[in-house]
Amino acid sequence: MNQSMQIRSALTGEQLPSLSTAWIQSVVASQSSAPPSARTLPALVATTKAQLLGSDWAAPGLFDGSPPGFPQQLLSSSAGSVQETRLPQDIIVQVLDIENLSQSRWQQVQALEAIERGEQKRGREIIRVTADGDGGEETDSPSTGGGGTGAPGRGAAGRTQAPPDTNATHRLVLQDVSGNKVFAVELVRIHRIGIGRLRIGEKLVLKAGTVAARGTLLLDPTSVKFLGGQIEAMNSAWLKGRLQRLREAAQAEQ
């Protein structure tokens, strides 16, 4: 088995789609001048995976063949009149948009501005959002000078866990590898989904049997697997564009 096939096999074993040989070879070639430790098979698998999760999966030439996308029944003009259908197989998608339907426009503006600054506020505390985006946070409190050890619920490194937004409901725009877009809504709260927690361009697996009602996918913790990643340029553009649209809409409501 040649190197490209070994890399492809390793990644498909992680439930990632089968990559084209040409794309894998381009990643391997980009590492030709890297140190020998970066050109071992495990290192090349990790590099290829990272580049894959940061790529636009709707771009041509990425995959070997065509991974399954949204069924035609979900994409047809009559999808809105179908009371319920289910995905016949697992489908890989990427996130194009996320909205917290439980927040007002001004609340959404404030949340996005906090993400843009790299921090969020809770009471008199400043919560610096960490890069993992999974709810871990670092808290500076004016009363302790930031990182004091006496604050309850805070570890030695000054970290505290944010309370989960248990009452939120999010709506996503998801795109399959063919470029088709479908709305998805949380039917049951999924903590991994949140503004600043789920990134634009992040990759998901929608599992076979996921329900779609009147053209909208209904998500619960058992129906989706998070693969990670993001498309940096798309995420930055989304944050700026969404902030501008929300500001304009919120100002118009005043």
- pLDDT of 33-47, one tens digit each? 999 998 899 999 999
In a domain, 123, yes or no: yes
Distance (Å, whole) CA 254 – CA 130: 34
89-132 pLDDT, tens digit per residue, is 999 999 999 988 887 777 777 777 787 777 654 444 444 444 44
Structure tokens at 226: 């998070």
Distance (Å, whole) CA 162 – CA 212: 31
Same domain, 133 and 235: no
pTM for the whole thing?
0.75
Which has more confidence, 97 or 145?
Answer: 97
CATH number at residue 233: 2.40.50.770
Same domain, 176 and 245: yes
- Of the candidates 226, 209, 207, the one whose C-alpha atom is nearest the C-alpha of residue 90 is 207
Residue whose token pair is 């590099």: 47
In a domain, 59, yes or no: no
- Per-residue DSSP letters for 162-194? PPP-TT--EEEEEEETTS-EEEEEESS--TT-S
Q: Do strands 216-219 and 211-213 pair parallel, antiparallel, or not at all (unpaired)?
A: antiparallel
Same domain, 154 and 94: no
Distance (Å, whole) CA 14 – CA 126: 38
Same domain, 86 and 153: no
220 close to 187: Cβ distance less than 8 angstroms: yes
Distance (Å, whole) CA 138 – CA 129: 7
Same domain, 173 and 248: yes
What is the domain range of residue 42?
Answer: 3-53
How many domains would you assign to the chain? 3
